A and B are shown apart, each in its own frame.
Chain A
Amino acid sequence: MKKTHIVLLIFIAAAIAVLVSFTGNLTTYETVASARQKPGTFVRLIAKVDKSQAVEYDAAKDPNYLVFTAIDTLGNTTRVVFRNSKPPDFEKSEKLVLNGRMENGRFECKDMLMKCPSKYKDDPNVIKKNLTVIN
């Protein structure tokens, strides 16, 4: 066997080992109900801001403390604590991916990803809304 082949095999074995361990570290997307089933496990909760509930954030008091209610597509809600600043596009987000853990009935959010309707591409529904709302 040639040296190159040996090296190739070693590298490929290393790459496979790395990928298997990566796959083992994967997390899951959850709903509020399924996240409650796994308290303490790091999950990604797909939800949106429940605008009927108060969003607590007072940067003058503590800029690293945001509390709000998230509601998922099934209509279940949970309070979410986010120990960071309120992201600038928070209110306009249509969907949130909240990364964190369910702890003591509250969702402790480490970081969040906001889906804003037209951040990169155009959502036809928004275009439609923008044109028809004013009519």
Chain B
Amino acid sequence: MHFTGEHLFPGQLGHFLVVLSFVASLVATIAYFRSTVAKIPAQASGWKQLARYAFFAESVSVFTVFITIFYIISTHKFEYAYAWNHSSMALSPKFLFACIWEAQEGSFLLWTIWHCVLGLVLIFRAGKWEAPVMTVVSFAQVCLATMIIGLYFGSTRVGINPFMLVRQLDVMQNAPIFNSPDYLSIPQMRDGQGLNQLLQNYWMVIHPPILFLGFASTIVPFAYAIAGLWKRDYTGWTKVALPWTVFSAGILGLGIMMGAAWAYESLTFGGFWAWDPVENASLVPWLVMVAGLHTLVVYNATGHSLRATFFFFIMAFFLVLFSTFLTRSGILGESSVHAFVENDMNFQLISLMAVFLVPAMLLFGTRYAAIPHIIREESSYSREFWMFIGALVLFLAAMVISWQTAFTPIYNKIAGKSTAAPEDPEFAYNKIQVFVAVVLGILTAVGQYLRYKDMPRGVFIRKAGWPLLAAIILSLLISLFGGINFQKHGPGFLGAIHLAVFAAVYAMVANAAYMWVGLNGKLKSAGGSIAHLGFGMMLLGILISSAKKDVLSKNNGILLNFDPKSKQDPTENLTLIKGLRTDMGRYWATYENKDSTGQHGNITYFKIDFQDKKSGEQFTLYPNFIKATKGQEGVSGNPDSRHYWDKDIFTYISATSLDDESDTVRFKKYNVKLKDTIFYSGGYMILNNVSINPAGTKYKVGPNDTLIVADLAVLSSDSMKYRATPAISWKGADSRFLFDTLFAQNLALGFTGVNKDAHTFEIQVKESGKMVPYVALKAYEFPHINLLWLGTLIMVAGFGVSLRRRYVLSRSLTVSRRRQGADAGRS
């Protein structure tokens, strides 16, 4: 059958380029491989040239694929499944990118694109390491290309083609809609399903690209490590790989924290971190990458810890692949807030892990003995010893988190059991990680004052003593007067929190002091200290804001509680009746009104006024509800916060009279002519007029909308007169009923139909005692949450400073080597 109105060219081009990128990266892999193993220099450079052309071709293809998808989405070509599933006409243009990452194919594409960018930089910068390193990168590109290639081998499909048409989807086979050649003119094909409402947030535009750059960049240290093992040049790569490692750890850290900021701003689990498997999956590779970064620095300075460095880089990259498997295979099932759907790519995802892990570990295992190491032990008063311990703690923390995240789903799958996370899953993580924080905080502080190799004890104690004393005093002040009183998990955990507060403060004080004492204020070379200062600040922010998180909206049983038990459980939702000033602990809260905005009125803002009882300070917050997309009923809450330098007042709406399903009273239908009367229990009403697009109504009318408004006069038995104007609105073929409510009379009125022949209008009337407009509000105070965000910025800045310095050092290294080479040639 020939279908009209389809634009097939972009899809054909796109899919051709996907296949081309697969072929080109395969050619690049083989050519780089041959170049690496070639014995004759001329052969090596010949293969390398071919490999470069192939990699360029691959990069151009991948970029064009991305542009093509963006074109399809931004021009609303809904014949494509991608556009139809993930976007809609109503979507604000700034979220078009978020549509691309909403789907699995798009995030694989993003990953591939970053590999291309990193690969291009490596081609220009890697020098003699180009061929082996790029063999690894190109091979990863082959693997990623299979994820979006969407080809069938027999009946097995490999990858998901992002350029599928809606009618080509498996589930759409035999759908009656496609019996018509002009199916695109059917209303439900003229608009897409829209972007998930939770992703309609600006963080979702920038967080995924940064996070995926972080994921993608883990391949570079990995590839250098593999190249070192492969070429049996175990030590030559460590200095050139260092800037890449710093970059990877910095960007991945930034990406993770952007995700935390998104969760804080747009999710209603009430915080920035919930130990969700998706969060853990990004944290774990970061921890291991940071461990590898530290052992790499140790090796470059002292010659210790090289074997550990190889291991950490292999693991960091493997854990990225493992995360990919966990979050995309559907194996997490019940344990995540994200709903994952099982798909048929599990085999492919498991293979992806295996093709990297098995050869890498074999190579590492067989060459392990040949990797240089120092037999003499590190001194206990040396920096390298404690840095190694720190790296070990980071790695073990990552392993514990991985185990806690992945044990139950994998065990259930293999053993057919039905185990689940502990009763309080967050506490299961926190009670362990709080001690990790203690150890890391102290190590970051002490480590700075130790020298590499060895140092006299007296010097160490003299230098490190003052910051320790200052930190003890400061943290005691916080512990005594900071109001940290987290009793929920008993005195043991509270003690651990106090200890961790000390460790965090110590890390901050010691690193800040070290910048002046140890480095004489030379900020250029203080990258490590800056990053550690930021890390300490993050820890402090996490500890204080979580341990002191305070529920402001306590419902103290003023309203009906049926069960005495409800007093024991946290009752964190406070009902605010419209216009009624309500006591909310330290504040007065008033629900003023609500307002719908967005192109289709899909976002409802609730205006809530707050007044501080003590200071009298007034402010207004606008938490909102976004209507669900993709044909789903319901709404999602979006929080709004009042930011102070020392705290956030964080609020969101947990329920409202809008979606009150318990209101079982039904509408009664009346078919009436103009000037007819309808009676209700409290009086009667008259349909005065019905008009099309009248001026001066409360409805917003777009240029292409048609609005029919029924004008009703309502007269109550107590002689009050009201006016109600329910309406029907059309936008194209899309009609909506706009109900009108008279709260004073507990009336809801709808205008739902016109019968042209009988000249009657259908009016629906509902009387309900539950019409009082209200919202249920949750309000938290997060004290000192800004420490977390500021700490993040400082840490990332520290990585930046360090990256610059390490880059300059590694450049001067190559330059001096070249000079030495030239001198040697001359003499």
| A interface list, Cβ under 8 A from B | 2-4, 7-8, 11-12, 15, 18-19, 22-23, 25-30, 42, 44, 46, 54-65, 81, 83-92, 97, 99, 108, 110, 113, 115-132, 134-135
- 20 additional A-B residue pairs with CB within 8 Å, beyond A44-B334, A85-B655: A18-B400, A27-B422, A28-B418, A46-B334, A55-B662, A57-B662, A61-B560, A62-B555, A83-B566, A85-B778, A92-B633, A113-B337, A116-B632, A119-B198, A124-B341, A129-B631, A130-B188, A130-B193, A131-B175, A135-B177
Q: Give the distance in Å from the alpha carbon of A124 to the alpha carbon of B631 in the complex.
A: 13
Q: How many residues of B contact A (CB 8 A)?
A: 89
Closest 9 CB pairs of A and B: A63-B776, A85-B654, A63-B573, A25-B422, A120-B338, A29-B418, A64-B571, A130-B631, A92-B634
Q: A57-B662, A120-B338, A128-B172 are in contact. Are A63 and B396 (CB under 8 A)?
A: no
Residue of B nearest to A25 (CB): B422
Q: Out of A11, A63, A135, which one reaches B655, CB within 8 Å?
A: A63
> Would B396 and A122 count as touching, CB distance under 8 A?
no
Q: Which residue of B lies closest to A56 (CB)?
A: B662
Q: Do the beta carbons of A44 and B420 come within 8 Å of each other?
A: yes
Q: How far is the CB of A14 from chain B (nearest CB, A)?
A: 8
> A120 contacts B340, CB within 8 Å?
yes
User: Of B340, B635, B770, which contacts A88 at CB under 8 A?
Assistant: B635
Pull 27 A–B residue pairs with CB atoms less than 8 Å apart, ordered by A: A3-B377, A15-B400, A18-B400, A22-B428, A26-B420, A26-B421, A28-B418, A55-B661, A57-B660, A57-B661, A58-B770, A59-B575, A62-B566, A83-B569, A83-B571, A89-B636, A91-B633, A92-B634, A116-B628, A117-B630, A119-B196, A119-B338, A121-B339, A122-B85, A122-B341, A128-B171, A130-B631
Residues of A within 8 A of B419 (CB): 26-29
User: 1/0 per position for B368-409, CB-CB distance to A under 8 A?
Assistant: 000000000110100001001100110010011001100110
A128 to B555, CA, bound (A): 43
Contact present for A134 and B187 (CB under 8 Å): yes
CB distance from A53 to the nearest CB of B (A): 12
Shortest distance in angstroms between A90's beta carbon and chain B's nearest beta carbon? 7
Docked complex: B621-672 residues within 8 A CB-CB of A: 625, 628-637, 654-657, 659-662, 664
CB distance from B740 to the nearest CB of A (A): 20
CB atoms of A27 and B421 under 8 A apart: yes
Chain A residues lying within 8 Å of B388, measured Cβ to Cβ, are: 4
Smallest distance from the beta carbon of B79 to chain A beta carbons, Å?
A: 13
A12 to B403, alpha carbons, bound, how many Å? 14
> Is the pair B175, A132 in contact by a Cβ cutoff of 8 Å?
yes
- Whether B415 sits at the interface, judged by CB under 8 Å, is no
Q: Is B559 an interface residue (CB 8 A)?
A: yes
CB–CB B562/A65 < 8 A: yes
Smallest beta-carbon distance B563→chain A, Å: 8
B376 to chain A minimum Cβ distance, whole angstroms, is 10
The winner among B770, B774, B776, B778 for most chain A CB atoms within 10 A is B776
Contact B632 A63 (CB under 8 A): no
- A55-B662, A63-B555, A91-B661 known; A121 and B104 CB under 8 Å? yes
B252 within 8 A of A: no
- Beyond A60-B657, A130-B188, whether A27 also contacts B559 by CB under 8 A is no
Q: Which of B339, B562, B629, B637 contacts A115 (CB 8 A)?
A: B339
User: Which of B421, B562, B634 touches A91 (beta carbons < 8 Å)?
Assistant: B634
Is there a chain A Cβ closer than 8 Å to B121's Cβ?
no
Give Cα distance in the complex from A118 to B632, angstroms: 8
Instruction: Answer yes or no: B577 CB below 8 A from chain A CBs.
Output: yes
Selected from A90, A97, A129, A135, the residue in CB contact (under 8 A) with B334 is: A97
On whether A83 and B555 interact (CB within 8 A), knowing A29-B420, A58-B770, the answer reads: no
A123 touches B396 (CB 8 A): no
Contact among B571, B575, B630, B656 with A130 in the assembled complex (CB-CB below 8 Å): B630
Q: Tell me the nearest residue of chain B to A90, going by C-beta.
A: B634
Knowing A27-B423, A121-B340 touch, does A88 contact B636 (C-beta < 8 A)?
yes
Bound CA–CA A123/B171 (angstroms) = 10
Contacts of A129 in B (CB 8 A): 631
| Interface assignment of B721: CB less than 8 Å from any CB of chain A | no
Q: Across the interface, do B660 and A59 meet the contact criterion of CB distance under 8 Å?
A: yes
